Amino acid sequence: MSPYPHKNYHEENPSTKLNSRPVFLVDTPTCKIPLFSPFDISIVQFLKPGKKISCNKFLPYTYEDGTILRVNWTAIHQSRHKDTFKHCRYQPIIRPYEAEHHNYFDYGDYSEKFYSYIEVPYEFVRVRCYNRANGKMYTNYHQFIYRKNDIEKVKSTAFEKHRAKVSETLNVLMVGVDSISRLNFQRYMRKTNAFLTNRLNAFDMMGYNKVADNTFVNIVPMTLGKFLEDVPWNESLSDIPFDNYNFIWKMFSDSGYRTLYAEDAPKIAIFDYLKAGFHKAPADYFNRHFSIAMTKDKQLWYNEHNCLVNRLETDVILNYTFQFASIMQKNPYFAFAFITGLTHDSTESAAMADESYFNYLKSLYEQHMLNNTLLIFYSDHGMRFGKLRETYIGKLEERLPFLFIVLPEWFRKKYPVISQSLQINERRLITPFDIYETLQNVLFFGTDQREQSSSRGISLFQEVSDERTCTEIGILPHWCTCAKNVPLPPEDIKNRDFGERIVTSINQILSTYVDCARLTLENVLSASKILPYDEILRFRKSKNDVINRKVTFGDKVNSFVHYQLIVQTSPGNGRFEATIKYDELHDSSKIASDISRINLYGNQSNCVNDHSIKKYCFCNM
């Protein structure tokens, strides 16, 4: 059951915003990123059915209600303990602002006994319930969001000063999901995809390209605006906490925004896996000690460590951010959440996450919690291992995670140039550096006050240049999904074959129009092939983030090659442009785009009234 209240209504399928049939996600003079179906015939053998997940092994004897912890008598009456239940007590889960180490947590004293409900003045608690023989019969973990008086006073003063300097303010809600490519999001998270597209009018950044290998090295550019080596950081600093780096949430905090930082899977968390994490809490609301405490209570977990008592670990984090956004709705806030466990290990596991994220986003929308909030919903990279990953499409997927940006409707109307830029940028080469610059743009809106960062990024509120290349923004060739455009010599044998295929397709379109002449190929005026970087086709793995960083290459995998041709036909000297998709493995090809007429046809097609046919038809005399 969803932890968020919402209405029930039917979701439409995502609708395309384009009338024509695109061949590329990004199609600029310097970058062409191929577009593939999520169910392309070359990879369907590696796709497994998505499954749902149910967390119903244990009944929840307790639940949160604001800052009150209640006994769930309905569940108890349905359980084997209905005649033996006695009372419950909770213990706060404690971590000081500055802890001894990043895994520190402790339990405080037990509360008084309660039989019905109790007010909880702590953020995180472990609750235990007992039977009449004083034996422990139930354990669970609960989280609460409440305003912290010491923080509120400081933040209110800081925000007053900040508000006087800027022309607009927005809350920021960043929700990251581990290891989901844009294609895999379309495959397995269809309800969430539909809701983002149809209800939230999200901007879908189709050319979002990761800049390095794993989560850590892609989140750092997003939150610090620099590559690791430019921070500077390397593996020799692994024992030093990240407390003193000026992350983007610190900048928002200094300007009076209430801040939240939340992750699941504490063992492999972004700044903690083989690293020292944070000794000082990075945000006003921070859940790591709670997450560690839950993880250590192994008997409460099941379904491959995805379910805790009666709920998904994913839902625990989403509910935490939801309650934070709800409480802080009328105050400026910055929330950063990253959720790993459920989707990290297989492509099809994304299906188990669909319902949770759909319910979460729908509740934010229906309770008007996005009315003054920038939502950035994203992944760090696609799946980095497995059979699918060994294919050409799988290699592209790993490098092309999903990224959606949602803005309030009033903001889009008030700043139409920003909306227009975002729409253009949906089909431009985009990186985590651009997210960092966008966040700075939001923080210092209408001012020139910006943190000095590299020139690798640009705010997505501005139009990204169609001349942008991977090289200029520091993406190494084996991460770059932009294909190379290679002109073909006129004598290339494929030119004539593909030219004939284009003309045959035009004649098939005209086959029912008896007044239109049958066309023949007169000449191939130009041809080029669009090739992926050889480093992508041969890439196997990357080891180490900075020191002794090593990239291993292997045999080249078969790929798809796109050929772009301009042909001239007879009679009428019509000139047409089309793209052919060639499958190297099966030596097969097909037209992958609409066929465009690129010269005027004047009165040549007066014998037909169908506008879509006029560009092809040369009327018989």
CA distance 363 to 175: 15
pLDDT tens sequence across 306-361: 999 999 999 999 999 999 999 999 999 999 999 999 999 999 999 999 999 999 99
Question: pLDDT at residue 548 above 70?
Answer: no
Please give the domain boundaries of the chain with CATH numbers for all domains: 24-53+146-473 (3.40.720.10), 484-614 (3.10.450.10)
Q: Which of 529, 521, 522, 520 has its CA nearest to residue 489?
A: 529
Q: Which of 205, 218, 227 has its CA nearest to residue 179?
A: 218
CA distance 18 to 21: 7
Name the CA radius of gyration of the chain, rounded: 28
Asked if 539 and 480 touch (Cβ cutoff 8 Å), the reply is no
Question: pLDDT at residue 517 above 50?
Answer: yes
Question: pLDDT at residue 6 above 50?
Answer: no
Q: What does pTM read for this prediction?
A: 0.85
Our CA dihedral for 208, 212, 216, 219, rounded to 10 degrees, sits at: -30
- Three-state DSSP state, 223: helix
Using alpha carbons, list the distances in angstroms from residue 247 to 16, 252, 304, 328, 425: 36, 9, 33, 21, 25
Q: Are strands 311-312 and 136-143 parallel, antiparallel or unpaired?
A: unpaired
**Sign of the alpha-carbon dihedral angle for 134, 139, 145, 149:** positive
Q: Are strands 62-65 and 68-71 parallel, antiparallel or unpaired?
A: antiparallel
3-state DSSP percent of the chain in helix, strand and coil, to 5:
30, 25, 45
What is the rounded average pLDDT of the residues 403-431? 98
Structure tokens of 5? 């209240």
**The sheet that has 85-94: what strands, in order across it?**
106-107, 85-94, 124-131, 136-143
DSSP β-bridge partners for residue 553? 539
- Three-state DSSP state, 52: coil
Structure tokens of 113? 């006994």
Q: Which residues contact 556 (CB under 8 A, 6 or more apart)?
A: 534, 537, 538
Which residue did the predictor score with more confidence, 561 or 309? 309
Which residue did the predictor score with more confidence, 338 or 590? 338
